[in-house]
Chain A
Amino acid sequence: MKKFLPIPAAFGYFTVFVLIYLALGYDWYRNKQAPDQPIAFSHKIHVGRVGLDCRFCHETVDKSTYAGIPSVQKCMSCHANVATDRPEVQKLAGYWERQEAMEWNRVHRIRIRNHVYFSHKSHIRAGIDCADCHGEVRYMDKVRQVSSLEMGWCVSCHQSKNASTDCLTCHM
């Protein structure tokens, strides 16, 4: 009788690991998903079909460390006249009439963002294409994060392009 006691104990022991595995898997799966946005804005239509340049909306990408998210006013500069009958565009017009800012959800997450200095400007100047990090946005309806944005991923590119790998270059 005593011999069989460890079996439920062992079962319980391994169940814990299975549960941890499943929880991590779910977390990974959820992180890979594109977050929901206040309106169903499609990069596929704007970049792929209409052919807008990234810099048309993300104006400060080559001038500042931040790429910049376009204001509702920027959207309305076209959508006052273009595709006004679509429900999503009408939702946008609602924001404009209420003079309310759109609260976009962050797509690209860096776990400890506070500790790293990243400048869009200097990367654009170095000739890095937007798609190298952000993926082929023109085929995405809903943008999701493509690259891991972890330090090893940064460093591997810095090494291959002979950029500085001194800690102080990014962490200050």
Chain B
Amino acid sequence: MPKWGMVIDLDKCTGCGACVAACKTENNVGVVSPRLSSENRSMFWMEMIKMVEGEEYPDMRVRYIPRPCFHCDRPPCTRVCPVRATYLAEEGLVAQIYNRCIGCRYCMAACPYTVKVFNWYEPQWSDERKQCVNPDVSLRPKGVVEKCTFCYHRLQIAREDARAENRPLKEADYRVACQDACPAAAISFGDLEDKSTKVYELSRSTRAMRIMEDIGTEPKVFYLSEGE
């Protein structure tokens, strides 16, 4: 059984934010007004984290880190869910089932990476935006928690196509939206346990690291960086 994972090369990433925009469109993530955004009500499945090092302009450095859900192998969020709306599914994906979610937000508190977002309001879609709503992804109502699914609908479709053609699922069949959008090809995605994939090699390279590795959540998103 495959174990899906992602590798993000921070040395290649320019922080352009194409992955953020692609993710929002692909997964029908709600857009909130600027006022609500200033109240931390903005919703991102893939968030661009900005880290400023240093004080003032010449002596400073800005780093950008794209942050999807890490789909941990030992996820803290699933332990606290009282209704099993979030659980570690087959193939290592952390599932979030909106029908079951009661909106208690325990999982949001438990997640050390703060990847989960809560629907504070009924999502509003402008007329233009309504036309590009993705029919393969559900529209979440008010009062449920949501997060990155590693574009699970794409896996579903890819698997159906592969089954129809009587062949095994190839690496190129299942690509996530942020990976497709990345102009610098910094994001790679695939089976972490299949030796033929790119992520297998990259995740085991000397540049690979995971965020907060010491807390033992074993995330399946790896970052590549040359130190410094």
* A residues apposed to B, CB below 8 Å: 65-66, 112, 114-117, 119, 121-122, 125, 166-169, 171-172
Q: Scoring B residues 114 to 150 as 1 if CB is less than 8 Å from chain A, else 0, what string do you get?
A: 0000000000000000000001111101000000010
- In whole angstroms, what is the CA distance A65 to B99 when docked? 21
Residues in B whose Cβ lies below 8 Å from that of A115: 98-99, 138
A-B contact count (CB 8 A): 48
CB distance from A63 to the nearest CB of B (A): 10
Which stretch in B38-46, B88-96, B183-191 binds the other chain?
B88-96
Residue of B87, B95, B149, B163 contacting most chain A CB atoms (<10 Å):
B95
Q: Is the Cβ of A171 less than 8 Å from the Cβ of B98?
A: yes
Q: Is the Cβ of B160 less than 8 Å from the Cβ of A125?
A: yes
Residues in A whose Cβ lies below 8 Å from that of B87: 167
B215 at the A interface (CB under 8 A): no
Residues in B whose Cβ lies below 8 Å from that of A171: 97-99, 138
How many chain-B residues does the 8 Å CB contact rule pick out?
22
Q: Is the Cβ of A166 less than 8 Å from the Cβ of B89?
A: yes
B63 at the A interface (CB under 8 A): no
- In whole angstroms, what is the CA distance A122 to B158 when docked? 11
Q: Is the Cβ of A167 less than 8 Å from the Cβ of B95?
A: yes
* B residues apposed to A, CB below 8 Å: 87, 89-90, 93, 95, 97-100, 135-139, 141, 149, 152-153, 156, 160, 163-164
CB distance from B118 to the nearest CB of A (A): 17
Q: Is the Cβ of B138 less than 8 Å from the Cβ of A65?
A: no
With A167-B97, A168-B97: A65-B137 Cβ-Cβ less than 8 Å: no
Counting from the closest, the 9 A-B pairs by CB-CB distance are A168-B95, A167-B97, A122-B160, A168-B89, A114-B139, A171-B97, A172-B152, A115-B99, A114-B138
Residues in A whose Cβ lies below 8 Å from that of B152: 168, 172
Residues in A whose Cβ lies below 8 Å from that of B137: 172
Considering the complex, give the chain A residue whose CB is closest to the CB of B144.
Answer: A115
CB distance from B119 to the nearest CB of A (A): 13
